[in-house]
Amino acid sequence: MNNFQRGALAALLIVTVGIAALAPAGIGFVVAARSERQQRVERLSVLADAALYRAEDITRRLSGALGEIGKVNEAPCSMSYLHALRQITLTHEQVRDAGAYDRDGRWQCSSLLGAVSAGTFDGLTLPPPDWRSPDGLSAWYGLARLPGGKESLVMGRDGFYITADPALYVDGIETGIAPEDRVAVINTEARRLIAGTPATDAAAVLAVYSQPPQWSDCAAIAVRQSASMPIAVIVSAPRETWRRRVRALPWGWLLGGVATGLACAGWLAFVVVRRVSPRGQLSDAVRRHQFIVAYQPIVDLATRRCVGAEALVRWKHHDRIVRPDHFIPLAEHGGLIQAITDQVLDTVLLELGDFLRRYADYYVSVNLSVPDLTTRRFLDVLGPAIAKQGVRPQQIRIEATERAFLDADAAKDVIDAFRRAGHAVYLDDFGTGYSSLSHLQSFRVDGLKIDKSFVDTIGQDAASSSVASHIIEMAATLDVQVIAEGIEREEQAAYLHARGAQSGQGWLFSPPLTAAEFIRYAGRTRGT
């Protein structure tokens, strides 16, 4: 992390602490206000649903009573007719009165007062109905001159009618209603008020239905419309002062906001520090697939012809390449190495799949970590992947490090499984571990890779200058191949070839290449 990154991190932490100190109370207040508003919304929604159910139920009951009157077969306004009407009004408690009127709307008789000649309402004529349905049902809202002298809702059809108290539509709603709530029921086709709680302004209610206002900070309105009847319910709560709303706020949210804000600030600081840490950046790189593959050509020391390549993973971070020795140990320690290995395999098959299918005598070796050399996980991934690409098993070879042999039993079984599946296995960096020789007695491998440190001493007066030749002799005895790493001088290549090493890699032949460069390099050496 450079000085600029450290400065940015410090500034970010300071801002985070400032937010933690100043914002929690405000956040808690906003959350509390929203909570209180949501409670009002839910309460009015429940109330509106209950009011609509009530209105639909009353309308159905009144329509049912009117339908029963239509089935009375007695002569209109006869004693038997009036008796039948009285029975219907007694059966339907919502019905206040029932009677008949003539074609011109003049009142003829009433279940309460009998025929016209016997009452005091002689000459009463019903005005044109406020609403008429396509099937002939008429309705009058707020008539006050019918028998009983009270404002009534009147429903009529074919010369007979019933009356009811409009308050039935808004009385009896017990779900969540408060004394200050307003409930109104309207006919949506006639745009007339059917009923409302005291002090209901009909014009205001109809205006709300025509264009429902948005929720304000102090008022709330809920509108429900029937799906089967031309009625709608408008429920409203009165405006509240800020002082009253503040007193009604759930103050626990404010205290919770302070605690939550501090916790979030601490968590954010942790995330920021972790994100800019090497491990955090590496984890982000795995998630973003920021790893690329360079191909180190492997050549036949006898013919100098390219026979394959070692896949070397590189981390492209902020337009610069991070060396593997800087992030591989961190990836192994942080449990990310297997995901990186999978991305390397995917990249190899994507970039060189066509090349390997065309040239069966070339191969790519992939370095495996300890977890993938002691379990069958990578083998289970590798098999389907190369089968899908049409790449032969012998074209993907495995390089194992000595650290994988610490769990000897598990490693032996996995290495044998790789070899049975057709993948050659090479022991990488051979000679650098204290128990390399003992491993050759326990594990069956296909080749040894001489570490660069032994190749560097060839031709020098050093204690390790003859180690490479001894390794080659031992490999010949065990009938395994030898690949020398880090060949940089011609004399090293000649020395290794003269003593029986089959293959080599290093800057003498080529530096690590991109996929396209490797394909061109292989083509040039193929004709050698």
Q: What is the full DSSP assignment across 310-336?
A: EEEEEEEETTEEEPHHHHHHHHHHTT-
- Asked whether 142 and 169 are in contact (CB, 8 A), the reply is no
Shared domain for 340 and 440, answered yes or no, is yes
- Asked whether 474 and 460 are in contact (CB, 8 A), the reply is no
Q: Considering the entire predicted model, what is its pTM?
A: 0.53
How many helices (H) and strands (E) the chain has is answered by 16, 20
Q: How far is CA 213 from the centre of its chain?
A: 33
pLDDT score recorded for residue 11: 64
pLDDT score recorded for residue 208: 85
Locate 510 and state its tokens: 């080529």
pLDDT score recorded for residue 157: 93
Q: Pick from 226, 245, 276: which residue ends a domain?
A: 276
Shared domain for 169 and 308, answered yes or no, is no
Shared domain for 346 and 232, answered yes or no, is no
pLDDT score recorded for residue 490: 94
Residues 6+ apart with CB under 8 A from 522: 297, 306, 355, 359, 362
pLDDT score recorded for residue 211: 81
Shared domain for 214 and 313, answered yes or no, is no
Shared domain for 51 and 200, answered yes or no, is yes
pLDDT score recorded for residue 342: 94
Rounded distance between C-alpha atoms, residue 414 and residue 416, angstroms: 5
pLDDT score recorded for residue 249: 55
Shared domain for 340 and 260, answered yes or no, is no
- Asked whether 272 and 9 are in contact (CB, 8 A), the reply is yes
Q: What is the CATH number of the domain that holds 405?
A: 3.20.20.450
For the chain of 528 residues, list the mean pLDDT of each consecutive stretch of 10.
54 61 60 71 86 92 94 92 94 92 88 72 78 92 70 91 91 72 91 88 86 61 91 82 55 60 63 65 86 95 95 87 85 89 95 95 94 92 95 95 73 92 90 59 84 86 74 88 94 93 95 96 84
Locate 59 and state its tokens: 């309308």
Shared domain for 81 and 193, answered yes or no, is yes
Q: Position 353: which residue type?
A: G
State the pairing for strand pair 131-132/182-187: unpaired
Locate 251 and state its tokens: 């103050």
SS3 letters across 407-439: CHHHHHHHHHHHHHCCCCEEEEEECCCCCHHHH
Provide the domain count of the chain. Answer: 2
Q: Pick from 219, 244, 276: which residue ends a domain?
A: 276
Residues 6+ apart with CB under 8 A from 466: none
Rounded distance between C-alpha atoms, residue 123 and residue 189, angstroms: 30
Range of the domain at 220: 1-276
pLDDT score recorded for residue 218: 46
Shared domain for 353 and 408, answered yes or no, is yes
Shared domain for 387 and 247, answered yes or no, is no
Shared domain for 312 and 224, answered yes or no, is no
Residues 6+ apart with CB under 8 A from 482: 447, 448, 449, 450, 471, 472, 475, 496, 500, 501, 502, 503
Shared domain for 268 and 292, answered yes or no, is no
Q: Pick from 253, 276, 299: which residue ends a domain?
A: 276
In the three-class reduction of DSSP (H, G, I as helix; E, B as strand; rest coil), residue 526 is classed as helix
pLDDT score recorded for residue 217: 45
Locate 488 and state its tokens: 């940089």
Shared domain for 103 and 10, answered yes or no, is yes
